[in-house]
Structure formats: C-alpha cells, structure tokens
Amino acid sequence: MPSLLFTPLRLRGVSFKNRIGVAPMCQYSCHDGLASNWHLVHLGSRAVGGAGMVMVEASAVSAAGRISPADLGIWSDAHAAALAPIAQFVAEQGAVPAIQLAHAGRKGSTQVPWQGRQAVPSEQGGWPVRAPSAVAFNDAYPLPGEMTESNITQVVDDFAAAAQRSRAIGMQVVELHMGHGYLMHQFLSPLSNQRTDAYGGSFDARVRAPLRVVAAVREAWPQELPLFVRLSATDWLEGGWDVAQSVELARRMKALGVDLVDCSSGSIVPGSQGQAEPGYQVPFADQIRREADIATAAVGLITRADQAEAILQRGQADMVLLARELLRDPYWPLRAAAQLDEEAGWPVQYLRAVSATAKS
C-alpha cells in the first residue's frame, strides 16, 4: 500500500507534496519583531529537509500582541519585508510557505522562556496587555485590562491586515492561533472569559470574537489559498473549553471558509495540560475531522514515521505537524521516506549522501 504520509494533499489551490508540516515554534530571537538570519536558516533547513509545509512561528499582528519583547511580528510592511526571503526560499525547496498569525492577549509582555516567564516591566521594554477579562494568567504575569468593543474591532482589523501582508510576500497558508491560552483562546474558554456582554457567557457569545477574526481574514485572504486554525481542543479541566465545543466551532468556521483545524490542547490556565504521551492529542483531530467534516492536522509527540503513517491510514487526520522532533532532526522527512520505502526527494546538492544508511 502506498504511503499516505508521502501522498500529496490538495487544499483549495495549493498542493502539498507530502502530509508532513513543520509546526509553528516560537524562537524568541527577534529585535523589534523583525525576522533575522536565524529564522531564514531555521526554517529554510526544514524546507531543505523535505517537509511539505513549513510554518513560520506565531507572528504578532500588533506590537502589543507579542508574547515577549523577542517575538516575531508582522504588524508593518517592514516586518513583512523581513519575512519575504524566508517565504521565497521555502517555496524554492518545493515546500509550502505558511505563517501563523497570533495575539498573546494576557500572556503578553513576559520574559522569554529561558529567562523565567515573569512579567516584563515597562522600563525593560514591557507594555500594557489586554484580554477579554481583567484576570491575569498567574501571579507572575501582567494584570490585563478588559478589552472594549473598540479594542476587539482593532484586533480583528489587525489580523486581516496581517493576512494581506502575508499574501504580499508569498505565503500560501495562513493559520490563526486560537489555542495555547492566547487571546482568541481566552475568548473561547469560560476559565478566562468572564464577560457579561455580547462577547462572554454563552457559547455563542464566547465564539463571537474568534469568528469575527475568521470572517475578516477569509475576506482578506485569497479564495484560492487555504486558511487554517489552531485550536486547543480541550482545556483538560472541568468547566473549561472542551472537544464538543471545538467540534461545533469547527463546523461554524468551516462555513466561513476555514479549510483545516490544527488540533492541539491546553494551556489556558496554569496546570491545564493533559498527560503527554505519544499521540495523546490525535483523538482530538480524529473527532473534529469526523464530526465537523473538516480536514485536520494531528500534533503532539509524533516522532516516528510508522506512527505518523498509522495516524493517516486510520483516517484520524489529513496532515501531521511535527515540532520538537524536527528541532532534533531537520531532515526527519527524508529519513521517514526511506523508512517507508518512498522517494524522498533529496536536494540534488545532497544526492551524494543518499544510500541505504538513510534508513537508519
């Protein structure tokens, strides 16, 4: 049986040469939000390594939407111009260039992970943060101001403008970050959204802002190009966001033009993570795919070629996105192809290295 992992996938007018995607992974390596040589080499090497899609890390749609002062951004034409060589190089390697658009909300103005994740004071480059409700993520994070309807409309506009800039530089996929405790997830989850107006309380109210973002981006993003959304499919906590709500949201997003749901989980409040083990989030991709009738991507501790292939063969997802495994081995797709007896598509510059040892 032919490998599904190396069978092309078509979404709208874009063809992915295989079903392996590089998940967006924050590098916390920017100055003023601008991409650098680090990003070109980091992302370019994964394209050379054979992935079908290479997704740029969470890119803030405004300066206030960053997680840390070292985050990547796409809130101006200058930021887009810094990303343009990356999109071009990724496409030249036969991979689909993609970008994740994001706003951190109450998780913004914090230190980079290796410094400890405390709030960054204004004198060190920090900024005021806003969220659906004036509730901090934890005692070490900034206390956010509650967003007004005008603030919400500005964020919607910022996402749409970021999508337009992404297209102008050659990105072929935009993903909206609605998981991991960032702003759109903060609206979705009852654990973070304590509003009593049109944007909080009922399910319909809590999904209002995220659906406004989807509609605005779909209008700004070319119809021939696919739109992805990353969801935290569950908060893992009673009274929080759950898979049933994710299924219903996915149905509504599909009606607005979303093509694929990237299924992660957790991180809305401290301790809201599941028990991490190989494939622990795959059932979310499976359920959303079946019940919402939408393409999905599976993520989370997918490390082996046979594991990724089995997910696709069982019909649990349409793509697999790898993160840490591709940090360990940028050439994982080439090795996986050899292990599954598929044509790897090695760069011609590397053909002298191709041998049976590629399977090891």
Domains of the chain: 9-359 (3.20.20.70)
Start-to-end CA span in the chain (Å): 22
What tokens were used for 24? Answer: 């967006």
Per-residue pLDDT in tens (0 to 9) along the chain, 360 residues: 789 999 999 999 999 999 999 999 999 999 999 999 999 999 999 999 999 999 999 999 999 999 999 999 999 999 999 999 999 999 999 999 999 999 999 999 999 999 988 999 999 999 999 999 999 999 999 999 999 999 999 999 999 999 999 999 999 999 999 999 999 999 999 999 999 999 999 999 999 999 999 999 999 999 999 999 999 999 999 999 999 999 999 999 999 999 999 999 999 999 898 888 999 999 999 999 999 999 999 999 999 999 999 999 999 999 999 999 999 999 999 999 999 999 878 999 998 888 655 555
Burial class (CB in 10 A: 0-12, 13-18, 19+), 95: buried
pLDDT digits (tens, 9 = 90+) for 264-312: 999 999 989 888 899 999 999 999 999 999 999 999 999 999 999 999 9
Which strand (E) or helix (H) includes residue 354? none
Distance of CA 267 to the CA centre of its chain: 14
Q: Which of 33, 92, 72, 97 has its CA nearest to residue 347?
A: 92
CA distance 116 to 112: 7
Half-sphere exposure of 235 (CA within 13 A, CB side): 20
Looking only at the bridges linking them, the beta strands covering 96-102 and 130-131 are unpaired
pLDDT at site 275:
85
CA distance 139 to 190: 19
Helix/strand/coil for 86: helix
| pTM confidence score | 0.96
Ranges of beta strands (E only) in 82-172 are 96-102, 130-131, 145-146
Residue 63 near residue 75 (C-beta atoms within 8 A): yes
What tokens were used for 217? Answer: 């981006």
What tokens were used for 32? Answer: 């003023």
Which strand (E) or helix (H) includes residue 16? strand 14-16
Catalytic residue among 182, 199, 280, 331: 182
Would residue 182 show up in a list of annotated catalytic residues for this protein?
Answer: yes
